Amino acid sequence: MTEPTAEPFLKSRSLARRALAEGHTAEPGRVNRRLLGALGRHGLLSLLFPEAAGGTATEGVRARDLCLVREALAQESTEAENAVAIQTLGSYPILLAGTAEQVSRWIPPLAAGETVAAFALTEPNAGSDPGALELLAERDADGYRLTGVKVFISNAPDADVYTMFARTTAGAGTRGITAFIVPGDAEGLRGSPLRLLSSHPIGRLELDGVFVPGAQVLGEVDQGFRLAMRVLDLFRPSVGASVVGMAQAALDAAVRHASARKAFGRPIREFQAVSHLLAEMATRLEAARLLVYSAAEAFDAGADRVGRRSAMAKLFATETAQAVVDAAVQVHGAAALEQGHLLEHLYREVRAPRIYEGTSEIQREIIARDLFKGH
């Protein structure tokens, strides 16, 4: 397979170059609205939204297209890849569970990059265990009042709209969670940015009795956890695709360096220790890519045990990518550690995907539980 050649992959790289050529920059760790707008104007975002909702995708939401776009972008620019990934993650719950009115209100500007979305699930005491979610949603007249804290929310506090998950039934675990559409300028909603290892736009949100009308409930009451898991099953293979893209960029850089760099009078690629390391990197990377696209195609086909396959794809791809990038740094030596070097950048960027959207340990738990079903 080596590298996808499907139209969304090739088109994404071309469109990303055009958007990035406009030279948009933003404060590190904050939403780059100018870049997101450029990605919208050049038609890259619309590849991932159905025609009926203002996009250009003729077959609706597909995990495979999401993987193709994210892998392509990760090879060009991790900032552009992050922007597209977070925007779609925040938008897709509305696409998948929203009413016709909700979709027509929010999705077209999101697909155009004019409005910024975010997916707000994680809390200080509910990360790997969303069943422990505490953000309280209390009935109030024809709507709900939301009170509590969200943390490590990508695109917070700058998003224009949040897909927010809150507890509507106490003591019900995952069966008492409801999804809401919460505008970023809602009264009582405050936020602050967080600074992480890489310059990812992410923050903390505090909700003090934020009123959400009943018309902004997303899907059925108490069925929000099911929606969140459906979205994560869709996105986990694409997380794998994004790190495969990063790892491919690292491998390509290592191959170029091994061909040009000389030691003891010959290119270092002629040393078996180096050439065999590169061969191992390429083999593991290809296995990760195949597992990612197999999981994506299973999701699109509505196959059984999609959750298990998505977990396998995310687990294997993120762990493999971390190892490939690390090995590429080793091939380069000290030069790769200098700030501004491609591999120094990738080394920081490749770490977070092993944590977000379910840690590697949680993916193993999902896989193990599925193995023991029926036994």
Q: Following DSSP, what letter does each residue of 312-365 receive, concatenated?
A: HHHHHHHHHHHHHHHHHHHHHGGGGGSTT-HHHHHHHHTTGGGTTTS-HHHHHH
Q: Give the largest CA-CA distance in the chain.
A: 80
Q: What count of Cα atoms within 13 Å lies in the side-chain half-sphere of residue 214?
A: 6
Q: Phi/psi of residue 144, each to 5°? A: -135, 155
In angstroms, the Cα distances linking 219 to 63, 150, 223, 276, 334 are: 21, 20, 7, 52, 52
- Which is nearest to 119 in space by CA: 73, 68, 155, 143? 155
Residues designated catalytic: 357
CA gap 346, 275 in Å, rounded? 21
Measured in whole angstroms, the distance separating CA 356 from the mean position of its chain's CA atoms is 8
CB 93 within 8 A of CB 139: no
